[in-house]
Amino acid sequence: MAKSVTSGTAEARPVLTRARIVAAAVRLIERDGAKALSMRAVAAELGVAVMSLYNHVPGKDALLRGVAEHVVAGMDFDGAAEASWADRARALVRAFRTVAHDYPRCMTIVLTHRADGSIALRPAERALAIAAEAGFDSVTAVRVTRVLMAYALGTQLREVGMTKALDRLTDFTALDPAEFPHVLASADELARNDSEADFEFGLDLLLAAVEALPRRPGFDQASAR
Protein backbone atom coordinates (compact mmCIF):
# COMPACT_ATOMS: atom_id res chain seq x y z
CA MET A 1 0.00 0.00 0.00
CA ALA A 2 2.79 2.33 -0.79
CA LYS A 3 4.83 0.60 -3.40
CA SER A 4 3.35 1.59 -6.74
CA VAL A 5 5.73 2.95 -9.32
CA THR A 6 3.32 2.87 -12.22
CA SER A 7 3.53 -0.87 -11.86
CA GLY A 8 5.97 -2.40 -14.28
CA THR A 9 7.10 0.34 -16.64
CA ALA A 10 9.72 2.13 -14.67
CA GLU A 11 10.30 5.79 -15.28
CA ALA A 12 7.83 7.57 -17.48
CA ARG A 13 7.35 9.76 -14.41
CA PRO A 14 9.93 9.31 -11.65
CA VAL A 15 7.14 9.69 -9.09
CA LEU A 16 6.99 12.65 -6.81
CA THR A 17 8.40 12.10 -3.37
CA ARG A 18 9.61 14.10 -0.44
CA ALA A 19 13.20 13.15 -1.09
CA ARG A 20 13.00 14.24 -4.70
CA ILE A 21 11.44 17.53 -3.69
CA VAL A 22 14.13 18.26 -1.14
CA ALA A 23 16.83 17.33 -3.62
CA ALA A 24 15.34 19.68 -6.19
CA ALA A 25 15.22 22.44 -3.61
CA VAL A 26 18.88 21.95 -2.72
CA ARG A 27 19.86 21.91 -6.39
CA LEU A 28 17.90 25.06 -6.99
CA ILE A 29 19.38 26.87 -4.00
CA GLU A 30 22.92 26.01 -5.03
CA ARG A 31 22.21 27.20 -8.55
CA ASP A 32 20.19 30.39 -8.02
CA GLY A 33 20.68 31.25 -4.35
CA ALA A 34 18.52 30.75 -1.31
CA LYS A 35 16.53 33.88 -2.04
CA ALA A 36 15.27 32.42 -5.30
CA LEU A 37 13.72 29.38 -3.68
CA SER A 38 9.97 29.31 -4.08
CA MET A 39 7.40 26.56 -4.20
CA ARG A 40 6.72 27.51 -7.77
CA ALA A 41 10.37 27.26 -8.71
CA VAL A 42 10.69 23.84 -7.09
CA ALA A 43 7.58 22.65 -8.89
CA ALA A 44 8.92 23.93 -12.19
CA GLU A 45 12.25 22.23 -11.55
CA LEU A 46 10.40 18.95 -11.15
CA GLY A 47 7.92 19.57 -13.92
CA VAL A 48 4.88 19.28 -11.69
CA ALA A 49 2.13 21.57 -10.51
CA VAL A 50 2.80 23.70 -7.49
CA MET A 51 0.19 22.22 -5.22
CA SER A 52 1.35 18.69 -5.86
CA LEU A 53 4.26 19.42 -3.58
CA TYR A 54 1.90 19.85 -0.67
CA ASN A 55 1.04 16.17 -0.82
CA HIS A 56 4.53 15.41 0.43
CA VAL A 57 5.58 18.52 2.30
CA PRO A 58 3.39 20.43 4.76
CA GLY A 59 4.69 23.81 3.69
CA LYS A 60 7.69 25.87 2.81
CA ASP A 61 9.13 25.96 6.30
CA ALA A 62 9.04 22.20 6.45
CA LEU A 63 10.76 22.07 3.09
CA LEU A 64 13.53 24.29 4.39
CA ARG A 65 13.93 22.06 7.40
CA GLY A 66 14.16 19.19 4.98
CA VAL A 67 16.92 20.97 3.13
CA ALA A 68 18.81 21.51 6.36
CA GLU A 69 18.45 17.86 7.29
CA HIS A 70 19.55 16.74 3.86
CA VAL A 71 22.71 18.77 4.15
CA VAL A 72 23.72 17.63 7.63
CA ALA A 73 22.81 14.09 6.61
CA GLY A 74 25.57 14.46 4.04
CA MET A 75 28.16 14.72 6.78
CA ASP A 76 30.66 11.95 6.40
CA PHE A 77 32.58 11.08 9.53
CA ASP A 78 34.01 7.62 9.66
CA GLY A 79 37.45 8.77 10.64
CA ALA A 80 39.87 6.02 11.57
CA ALA A 81 38.50 4.48 14.74
CA GLU A 82 41.99 3.95 16.05
CA ALA A 83 42.87 7.61 16.03
CA SER A 84 43.06 9.56 19.27
CA TRP A 85 39.83 11.06 20.54
CA ALA A 86 41.15 14.50 19.64
CA ASP A 87 41.73 13.41 16.07
CA ARG A 88 38.26 12.00 15.87
CA ALA A 89 36.80 15.20 17.28
CA ARG A 90 38.80 17.11 14.71
CA ALA A 91 37.42 14.89 11.98
CA LEU A 92 33.89 15.46 13.20
CA VAL A 93 34.11 19.23 13.16
CA ARG A 94 35.88 19.09 9.80
CA ALA A 95 33.08 16.95 8.43
CA PHE A 96 30.66 19.75 9.12
CA ARG A 97 32.98 22.21 7.49
CA THR A 98 33.21 19.97 4.46
CA VAL A 99 29.48 19.88 3.83
CA ALA A 100 29.48 23.61 4.36
CA HIS A 101 31.94 23.78 1.52
CA ASP A 102 29.89 21.40 -0.62
CA TYR A 103 26.63 23.30 -0.15
CA PRO A 104 27.76 26.88 0.37
CA ARG A 105 24.50 28.59 -0.46
CA CYS A 106 22.48 26.19 1.66
CA MET A 107 24.43 27.08 4.77
CA THR A 108 22.28 30.08 5.62
CA ILE A 109 19.33 27.75 5.78
CA VAL A 110 21.15 25.08 7.73
CA LEU A 111 22.23 27.64 10.29
CA THR A 112 18.83 29.30 10.49
CA HIS A 113 16.40 26.40 10.36
CA ARG A 114 17.80 24.01 12.89
CA ALA A 115 16.83 20.50 12.01
CA ASP A 116 15.17 18.40 14.64
CA GLY A 117 14.89 15.03 12.97
CA SER A 118 16.94 12.13 14.20
CA ILE A 119 19.33 12.62 11.29
CA ALA A 120 20.36 15.91 12.80
CA LEU A 121 21.21 14.17 16.04
CA ARG A 122 23.85 12.00 14.41
CA PRO A 123 26.63 14.56 14.88
CA ALA A 124 25.59 15.08 18.49
CA GLU A 125 25.64 11.35 19.09
CA ARG A 126 29.07 11.10 17.56
CA ALA A 127 30.40 13.99 19.61
CA LEU A 128 29.02 12.56 22.82
CA ALA A 129 30.54 9.20 22.00
CA ILE A 130 33.94 10.74 21.44
CA ALA A 131 33.74 12.79 24.61
CA ALA A 132 32.70 9.75 26.60
CA GLU A 133 35.54 7.65 25.24
CA ALA A 134 37.91 10.46 26.09
CA GLY A 135 36.99 9.89 29.71
CA PHE A 136 34.89 12.92 30.54
CA ASP A 137 32.00 12.65 32.92
CA SER A 138 28.56 13.12 31.47
CA VAL A 139 28.13 16.79 32.30
CA THR A 140 31.54 17.67 30.91
CA ALA A 141 30.89 15.56 27.82
CA VAL A 142 27.73 17.49 27.05
CA ARG A 143 29.50 20.76 27.58
CA VAL A 144 32.40 19.82 25.36
CA THR A 145 29.94 18.73 22.71
CA ARG A 146 28.20 22.07 22.91
CA VAL A 147 31.40 24.04 22.69
CA LEU A 148 32.47 22.10 19.62
CA MET A 149 29.09 22.66 18.02
CA ALA A 150 29.24 26.34 18.78
CA TYR A 151 32.64 26.56 17.19
CA ALA A 152 31.60 24.63 14.11
CA LEU A 153 28.50 26.76 13.63
CA GLY A 154 30.18 30.01 14.52
CA THR A 155 33.09 29.51 12.17
CA GLN A 156 30.81 28.92 9.22
CA LEU A 157 28.53 31.76 10.18
CA ARG A 158 31.42 34.16 10.49
CA GLU A 159 32.81 33.03 7.19
CA VAL A 160 29.56 33.42 5.32
CA GLY A 161 29.02 36.85 6.81
CA MET A 162 32.60 37.75 5.97
CA THR A 163 32.40 36.96 2.30
CA LYS A 164 29.05 38.68 2.09
CA ALA A 165 30.37 41.77 3.83
CA LEU A 166 33.54 41.92 1.76
CA ASP A 167 31.47 42.11 -1.39
CA ARG A 168 30.03 45.33 -0.07
CA LEU A 169 32.98 46.79 1.78
CA THR A 170 35.55 48.06 -0.68
CA ASP A 171 36.41 51.29 1.10
CA PHE A 172 38.69 50.03 3.78
CA THR A 173 40.43 53.37 3.86
CA ALA A 174 37.30 55.38 4.59
CA LEU A 175 37.44 54.55 8.28
CA ASP A 176 38.12 57.05 11.00
CA PRO A 177 41.73 56.31 12.04
CA ALA A 178 41.00 57.67 15.49
CA GLU A 179 38.15 55.25 16.08
CA PHE A 180 39.54 52.15 14.38
CA PRO A 181 43.33 52.22 14.80
CA HIS A 182 43.75 48.48 15.24
CA VAL A 183 41.39 47.57 12.43
CA LEU A 184 43.34 49.79 10.08
CA ALA A 185 46.68 48.52 11.35
CA SER A 186 45.54 44.96 10.72
CA ALA A 187 43.77 45.77 7.48
CA ASP A 188 46.06 43.59 5.41
CA GLU A 189 45.76 40.75 7.85
CA LEU A 190 41.98 41.08 7.89
CA ALA A 191 41.70 41.24 4.12
CA ARG A 192 43.82 38.15 3.60
CA ASN A 193 41.38 35.44 4.30
CA ASP A 194 42.95 32.06 4.80
CA SER A 195 39.83 30.61 6.31
CA GLU A 196 41.28 27.13 6.32
CA ALA A 197 44.24 28.10 8.47
CA ASP A 198 42.05 30.19 10.75
CA PHE A 199 39.70 27.30 11.18
CA GLU A 200 42.44 24.86 12.07
CA PHE A 201 44.02 27.38 14.40
CA GLY A 202 40.86 27.77 16.41
CA LEU A 203 40.14 24.07 16.38
CA ASP A 204 43.59 23.21 17.69
CA LEU A 205 43.23 25.87 20.34
CA LEU A 206 39.93 24.50 21.48
CA LEU A 207 40.95 20.87 21.48
CA ALA A 208 44.14 21.61 23.38
CA ALA A 209 42.08 23.26 26.07
CA VAL A 210 39.66 20.37 26.17
CA GLU A 211 42.53 17.92 26.42
CA ALA A 212 43.70 19.65 29.57
CA LEU A 213 40.36 19.07 31.26
CA PRO A 214 40.21 16.59 34.15
CA ARG A 215 38.79 13.16 33.38
CA ARG A 216 36.26 11.19 35.31
CA PRO A 217 37.82 9.61 38.43
CA GLY A 218 39.44 6.27 37.86
CA PHE A 219 39.79 6.79 34.14
CA ASP A 220 43.09 5.64 32.73
CA GLN A 221 43.93 8.55 30.52
CA ALA A 222 47.13 7.04 29.20
CA SER A 223 45.47 3.94 27.81
CA ALA A 224 42.89 6.00 25.96
CA ARG A 225 45.45 7.50 23.75
Partner DNA sequence: TACGCCAAACGTACGTTGTACGTACGATCG
Partner DNA sequence: CGATCGTACGTACAACGTACGTTTGGCGTA
Output 36 or 208, the one with its CB closest to DNA.
Answer: 36
Residue from 23, 34, 48, 153 that binds DNA (CB under 7 A)? Answer: 48
Output 24 or 203, the one with its CB closest to its own copies.
Answer: 203
Output 86 or 142, the one with its CB closest to its own copies.
Answer: 142
Residues 98 and 76 sit within 8 Å (Cβ to Cβ): yes
**Number of residues written out for the chain:** 225
Residue from 27, 31, 101, 158 that binds its own copies (CB under 8 A)? Answer: 158
- Of 159, 153, 39, 34, residue with least CA distance to 105: 34
The distance of closest approach from Cβ of residue 9 to DNA in the complex, given in angstroms and rounded to an integer, is 8
Output 5 or 205, the one with its CB closest to DNA.
Answer: 5
Contact window for DNA (CB under 7 A) among 52-60, 124-132, 181-189, 195-203: 52-60
Q: Is 41 in the site for DNA (CB under 7 A)?
A: yes
Q: Is 39 in the site for its own copies (CB under 8 A)?
A: no
Q: Is 11 in the site for its own copies (CB under 8 A)?
A: no
Separation between Cα atoms, residue 224 and residue 59, nearest integer Å: 48
Sign of CA dihedral 29, 35, 36, 40: positive
Site residues for its own copies, 94-113, by CB under 8 A, read 108, 111-112
Q: Is 36 in the site for its own copies (CB under 8 A)?
A: no
What is 6-18 written as a DSSP string? SSSS--SS----H
Side-chain-facing half-sphere of 50: CA atoms under 13 Å? 7
Residues 22 and 106 sit within 8 Å (Cβ to Cβ): no
